[in-house]
């Protein structure tokens, strides 16, 4: 957006399209992957439980889409204001990936808390 600011200022269109396009591309990837997932569910004859249905439902997808869109719009606006944020964002995301816990205690894996498909 910063590199082509002159072109964006000359033509009127909704400015939200530019940050949302990255999310919509990921949504297309999700749809293709979901198709193959459904094919494999039928191939392996997995019993679809309510937890699997809710996990891949449109409600979760909408919540993820709008929260990602909000965070992306915030970062896009902050990137316009503070130009160095574009270099700091990947560093902070990588730091957060390493800061999340990878090893969980065995007590967190009680049978009632797992969302595994039943056969």
CA terminus-to-terminus distance, the chain: 49
Determine the length of the chain: 119
Tokens describing residue 109: 């894996």
Q: What are phi and psi of 90, to 5 degrees?
A: -60, -35
Report pLDDT for 28: 92
19: closest CA among 65, 62, 76, 63? 76
pTM: 0.65
What pLDDT sits at residue 89? Answer: 86
Model confidence pLDDT, tens digit, residues 20-36: 888 999 999 989 998 99
Two structure tokens written together for 12: 């009127």
- Highest mean pLDDT among 11-15, 22-26, 57-61 belongs to 22-26
pLDDT in tens, 64-114: 899 999 998 898 888 888 888 888 988 988 998 888 877 766 666 666 655
Rounded Cα gap, residues 22 and 13, in angstroms: 17
């Amino acid at each position: 957006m910063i590199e082509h600011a002159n072109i964006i200022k000359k033509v009127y269109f909704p400015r939200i399209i530019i940050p949302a396009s990255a999310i919509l591309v990921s949504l297309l990837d999700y749809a293709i992957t979901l198709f193959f997932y459904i094919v494999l569910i039928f191939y392996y004859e997995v019993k679809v439980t309510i937890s699997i249905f809710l996990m891949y439902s449109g409600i979760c997808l909408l919540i993820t889409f709008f929260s990602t869109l909000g965070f992306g719009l915030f970062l896009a606006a902050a990137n316009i204001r503070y130009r160095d944020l574009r270099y700091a964002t990947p560093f902070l995301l990588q730091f957060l990936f390493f800061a999340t816990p990878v090893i969980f205690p065995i007590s967190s894996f009680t049978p009632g808390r797992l969302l595994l498909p039943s056969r």
